[in-house]
Amino acid sequence: MSAPQPAHRQRGLTLIELMVALAIFAVLGVLSYRALAEVSTSRTRLEEGFERWRSIGRAMQRIDTDLLQLVAPATSSSPTTSAQASPPLLLTRAASGGAELQLLRLDEARGVRRVGYRLVDGRLDWLRWSGRDAFGEPTVEPLLGNVRNVRWRFLTGGNRVDAWPPGDRRGTLPDAVILELELPDHGTLTRFIALR
């Protein structure tokens, strides 16, 4: 006689094994979701950073273009006429208390035109007047936001000066303009724009 064969039981997952498997899948799902959320957040931050650098680049390009199209001082045989003429480059104090740079630039459509830059409430504005002189209110166009400070300096004869024009050289141009743009998110950016 042969020994009785053990009964073949069907074996499945026990409740504990099933709960452990579900817990593992839940943890994997949460980790995957967190990873995707981090990738999305990083992508958004990168896009914002790229957009900020693009806007800084556009602002610098505008300033470069205006300064490179700066009109040389008019030479006049009459000293009183040249002394009364508005200087081609002028650093003044704006009503807001910050520095305002005004300059005469050559405009393709309108000839010689006065433009300027000033900082108001953390925003660098581009100013445009209708003619050579700064009469009336200029057209104001926001150029760059989130700016802490703007400082204009001038290089002349190997020296840096903080005011232009110097008292005795009203109709002259500096060798270069130095722009220091202080941004809370990127520190201080310095740009040298050679005029000669």
Return per-residue pLDDT of the chain as tens, 196 residues. Answer: 566 666 666 677 788 888 999 999 999 999 999 999 999 999 999 999 899 999 999 999 999 999 999 987 664 444 444 445 678 999 988 877 788 999 999 877 778 899 999 999 999 999 999 888 777 889 999 999 999 999 999 999 889 999 998 877 777 899 999 999 999 999 999 999 999 8
59: CB partners within 8 A, 6+ apart: 124, 143, 144
Cα distances (Å, whole numbers) of residue 18 to 13, 24, 28, 190: 6, 10, 15, 64
| Rounded-to-integer distance, Cα 155 and Cα 193, Å | 10
Q: Which amino acid is at 109?
A: A
**Tokens 């703007």 map to which residue?**
150
pLDDT given at position 76: 41
> Do 190 and 177 contact (CB within 8 A), yes or no?
no
**Taking Cα atoms as reference points, which of 48, 68, 70 lies closest to residue 145?**
48
**Residue 46, SS3 per DSSP:** helix
Tabulate helix, strand, coil % of the chain (nearest 5): 30, 35, 35
- How close are the terminal C-alpha atoms of the chain, in Å? 116
